[in-house]
Structure 1
Amino acid sequence: MGGECVQARTETGDAAVAVYGASGHTGAFVVAELRRRGIPTIAVGRRPAGLAGGIAARVAAIDDPAALDAALADCAVVINCAGPFLDTASPLIDAALRVACSYIDVTAEQASAQRTFADYDAAAHRAGITVIPAAGFYGGLADLLASALAGDDATDAVDTAVALDRWWPTPGTRRTGERNCVPRVVVENGSLAPIPTVPAIVDWAFGSTDGTQAVVEMPFSEIITIARHLGARRVHSYLNASALDEVSSSGTAAPTAVDALGRSAQRFVMDVVVSDRNGARRGRARGQDIYAVSAPIVVEAAARLRKPGTHRRGALSLAQAFDACEFLHALSSAVTVDFDHA
């Protein structure tokens, strides 16, 4: 968990946060959360049509470095909500490095998060910025839970399981699924390894509310964020089979808003079990709408990065950059978290 404390060159108390992909489904939630918290916001997108109304907006195509630099030049942080992140993360991070603007994204794509950690840690140190990939529901929330559960002893294993009562995929989720053909990986014997051709199916007890459900091995970016710093010899992730069937079906509809916040009716539960020589400990997070809940997570991170003073620099997971328990407490209005012995 190394990293120096430095003051970012562009960080000021009233500096804006840019949202790339502000007109997208998740981007709209992020813009709304920034506005709710009174944080100056700049919507950035590839086309002027569809950018959030009522706030500053700038147009910058992902393949236009000069436009990206101009869009981020006076911002403290940029939050990237535009997938596929295999295509958007590197150009935006490159621009953030050039203008000394910290970077956060919400990717669930393992390959994108892995590439960000591998390619940008040293450069972020030199630029005095923080780069945090996969800070949304999958990579970020799971990393916070696992880190809060980890003790002083070496971690033997981390297992995560997610149950969604429904999964209505956004168009962005479908585009990412078509683009992301990189084999999925888990951690075995302390190293990343591909999952079996036929993924494991097991029964997982989610508690009295959600019961025991069949889950399929389906790792997302949490494998990469957890492996980044916890040093577990084994990390595996599962998703309930019914949700996987829905997101895999071309006939499943997109999410529909059911409340004033624009959230769908989807409910989620995320279980994380951390094991070491002292036994197993479980953390469980519950909430509504996996797309919407990414907004308070990344906005909380951005709010911390834009404050004057010191922050850790480099390419970091969310739980490397911030204290996991304290960060989870800050999310209590959006996510209900419980800890117990597994």
Structure 2
Amino acid sequence: MRIAVYGASGYTGRLVVAELARRGLDVLLVGRDPERLRLAATEAGAPGAAVRVAGLDEPAALAEALRGSDGVISCVAPFTVHGEPVLRAAIAARCHYVDISGEQPHTKYVHDAFGVEAERAGITVLPAATDDGVPADLLAHLTAARVAPVDALVIAHRLSGGTMSRGTLNSMLANITAFTGGGLSFVDGQWLADADGVPTSLVFPGDAAPVEVAGLAAPELPGIPRHLPARLVTAVVEREFLARLSAVAAAEVVASLPEGPDAEQRADSGFVLVADAVGVDGRRARGVLTGVDVYGSTALIAVESIRRLVADGAKPGVLAPAEAFDPADFLGFLTRHGVRWSVTG
């Protein structure tokens, strides 16, 4: 199994290469600068990994560089700026595609625009294979099944500890309107901004009282209505997180920061995902998932996603995680790597 990585010299890209090497998979690094790619391979524990040179502005060369690979993981952020060429090259090369985008506008664009092309190429495309993108979708599916048919589903995000990489912050800057505006919600079959019904407070697991929350441009949201019919699907995050984000959401601040958290900071970071589902009959269910090491978890999830697409197969097209994988089985895999999850109700 050969897996190509575009953006391998970036912070999360190197973690992805390291996870591929740890699994013993054949790694191909693709990009514009061969020396940076070789250095990234060595730093990630994959010295001697194959390198091919192709830029994002060279569609034919990029497709040729990916040709012969079984799949590609795109780590080239911001995805709304740089993501499309890698996806088009994967379709041309007929290799399965996942990316680590946390950008809702990109994820929605992929779902809206590339389904037919991916089907014709016979490949599966899975955007937002991240620490939140895949688990939130799978957790939502399992939670909603407890109360189906579903009236409303709310996904809540909480992040703790650690620091963000420059790549994450640059992605937020490139999508600042979506991030600060609360993103889109799915309401009565339409995607709306400033939708009614988005919660303003929520009690997270372990808390004695509710905290203020606001709408979140969550990357998993565009895929959920594909497999989960509901009147309302939306996502929220603690307002306190948005306040912290605003303190660094300036290009000059981001440029002065370290490339990403060190190993100790990564180990100190954690995430909580909550899926609250309400059935049309008023029944309620809650799914809760907790994990550690945001960036390490993203690398793990992206690699496991592409491995399953190649080894186990999925229908061609652009899919949400719950369409591509058995939700309980994938979450069961993650429990072996520090993730805990449950569904009640």
- The answer (yes or no) to whether the contact 1:168–1:246 under 8 Å persists in 2 is no
Q: Does 1:119 align with 2:113?
A: yes
Q: Give the aligned CA root-mean-square deviation in angstroms.
A: 2.5
Name the SS for the 2:156 alignment partner. Answer: strand
Deviation at 1:75, TM superposition (A): 0.5
- SS in structure 1 opposite 2:164? coil
Partner of 1:337: 340
| TM-score of the superposed pair, with normalisation by structure 1 | 0.86
Indicate the SS of the match to 1:282: strand
Distance 2:209 2:2 in 1: 44
Q: Deviations over 1:132-191 (max 9, x none)?
A: 111212322210111122228322111111111236221112222222255421112232
Alpha-carbon distance in structure 2 between the residues aligned to 1:122 and 1:256:
39
Structure 1 residues 211 and 30: alpha-carbon distance in aligned structure 2, compared to 1, 3 A threshold: farther
User: Which deviates more from structure 2 when the two are superposed, residues 210-219 or residues 276-285?
Assistant: 210-219
| 211-220 or 279-288, larger mean C-alpha shift | 211-220
Q: Does the CA contact (< 8 Å) of 2:213 and 2:239 recur in 1?
A: yes
Equivalent residue number for residue 234 of structure 2: 236
Unmatched segments (≥5 aa) in structure 2: none
Cα distance, 1:112–1:57 mapped onto 2, change above 3 Å: same
2:296 maps to 1:292:
yes
Runs of 4+ more than 6 Å apart: none
Q: Structure 1 68/190 Cα, relative in aligned 2: closer, same or farther at 3 Å?
A: same
Distance (whole Å) between structure 2 residues aligned to residue 176 and residue 232 of structure 1:
29
Instruction: Kindly state the Cα deviation for residue 324 of structure 1 after the two structures are TM-superposed.
Output: 0.8
**Residue 207 of structure 1, aligned match among 194, 205, 208:** 205
Gaps of 5+ in 1: 1-14
Counterpart contact for 1:223–1:235, Cα < 8 Å: yes
SS of match in other structure, 2:217: coil
Question: Which deviations, in whole Å up to 9, do the C-alpha atoms of 1:60-114 show, x marking residues without a partner?
Answer: 2111112212221110010111111112332112111111101101212122111
Shift of 1:280: 1.6
**Structure-to-structure mapping, 1:20-39, within 5 angstroms:** 20-39=6-25
| 2: CA distance, partners of 1:118 / 1:50 | 34
- The one of 78, 81, 84 equivalent to 2:78 is 84
| 1:273 lines up with 2:276 in the alignment | yes
Question: Which of 95, 99, 109 is the matching residue for 2:89?
Answer: 95
Please give the alpha-carbon distance, in whole angstroms, between the structure 2 residues aligned to 1:226 and 1:26: 25
Contact 1:159–1:274 (8 Å) recurs in 2: yes
Note the 1:177-256 alignment, pairs <5 A: 177-181=172-176, 183=178, 184-195=183-194, 202-208=200-206, 212-250=210-248, 253-254=257-258, 255-256=260-261
- CA offset digits 1:9-57 (Å, max 9, x no partner): xxxxxx3101111111211221111111111111222323432221222
Q: Structure 2: how far apart are the matches of 1:145 and 1:122? A: 27
Say which of 58, 61, 68 aligns to 1:64. Answer: 58
- In 1, the alpha carbon distance for the partners of 2:327 and 2:343 equals 16
Aligned to 1:150: 144
Q: Residue in 2 aligned with 1:105?
A: 99
> Is it true that 1:328 corresponds to 2:331 in the alignment?
yes
User: Which residue of 2 is the match for residue 46 of structure 1?
Assistant: 32
Instruction: Give 1 or 2: higher helix fraction.
Output: 2
CA distance in structure 1 between the aligned counterparts of 2:151 and 2:76, rounded to whole angstroms: 35
- 1-side partners of 2:57 and 2:266: how far apart? 32
Does the 8 A contact of 1:217 with 1:237 survive in 2?
Answer: yes
Give the fraction of aligned pairs with identical amino acids, expressed as a percent.
33
2:162, 2:266 within 8 Å by CA — same for their partners in 1?
no
Distance 1:59 1:91 in 2: 14
Q: What code does the residue aligned with 2:10 have?
A: G
How many residue pairs get matched? 324
Shift of 1:310: 4.4
Task: Find the residue that maps to 1:156 and give its secondary structure.
Answer: strand
Q: CA deviation at 1:246?
A: 2.1
Q: Does 1:311 align with 2:314?
A: yes
> Partner of 1:7 in structure 2?
none
